[in-house]
Amino acid sequence: MNLKYRIMIILGLCFILCISSYILIARMFDNMENQLFEKCRVDARIGARMMGEAITLMINTKTLSERAAFEFAYVPLEGTNPRKYTTGHDEVFDRYIQPIIDAFLLDRDIGYAIPVDRNGYAPTHNSIYAKPASPDPALALRSSRAKRIYDDTAGLKAARYEGDGVLQQFYAQDTGDTMWDFAAPIRVGDRHWGAFRVGLSMERIDEINNQMIILVTMSLLVILSVTMLILFLVIPRKLYDTDLDIPRY
């Protein structure tokens, strides 16, 4: 086999290896992303079921009346910006529900995990976002998110979702953060109460994508380096020898 065909075969194999490596790595990271999504769907379903059972238990034990649980009357809390509200059940949710939803945040992939009623009202929130109201609206927006009504388009769609599966939406928070939001309906008996919402930060998705780019780049560099080494061994030395034939005196 002459030199030209050897070089063509080596370069062809290099191209095939580069494309194959990219496809395999991309599929691997797609699977990682899908596994993250599926984990959030499972968390949303588990959370919704736990909330439904917890509300039912509180009603059965007289900790909370059914009327209070389903009385969606919101009394504005003065001096709050963004506006907060109190209801006949938010204090009970703070006491009994908040510890349950805080456990979901032990998974670092989860940005938030909260119950909202049919109107998007969050009677309680994860404790890291349920700090006392601050006079600084920018600080309150991030650290004091409990007892607010999230009635934006995505929020209401999640709160009123009554399907059998999990609703997944791209969610632009009012803080400027972007999330994937997963919502599963909360049912108390045969009544729809609201939804359990789980947030997956886009920063986590970006982190996965950056890892993929690094891995692809390193793989291509290795393949190209090996290819150059093989070419160096295959090509006769006389073709790349740059020594000049200098007359000797």
- Residue at 135 is within a domain: yes
pLDDT digits (tens, 9 = 90+) for 146-157: 999 999 999 999
- Residue at 106 is within a domain: yes
- Residue at 222 is within a domain: no
Q: What does pTM read for this prediction?
A: 0.77
Give kind and range of the element (H or E) at residue 188: strand 178-188
Into how many domains does the chain fold? 1
- Residue at 220 is within a domain: no
Are residues 225 and 232 in contact, defined by beta-carbon separation less than 8 angstroms? no
CATH at 193: 3.30.450.20
Please, what sign has the CA dihedral across residues 74, 79, 80, 82? positive
Domain span at residue 105 reads 27-205
Nearest Cα neighbor of 200 from 70, 5, 36 is 36
Residue 30: the pLDDT is 75
Please, what sign has the CA dihedral across residues 9, 11, 15, 18? positive
Cα distance between residue 124 and residue 120, in whole Å: 12
- Residue at 132 is within a domain: yes
- Residue at 227 is within a domain: no
Are residues 198 and 112 in contact, defined by beta-carbon separation less than 8 angstroms? yes
- Residue at 235 is within a domain: no
47 three-state secondary structure = helix
- Residue at 20 is within a domain: no
pLDDT digits (tens, 9 = 90+) for 16-44: 877 877 777 777 777 778 888 999 999 99
Nearest Cα neighbor of 82 from 146, 31, 30 is 146
pLDDT digits (tens, 9 = 90+) for 148-191: 999 999 999 999 999 989 999 999 888 888 889 999 999 999 99
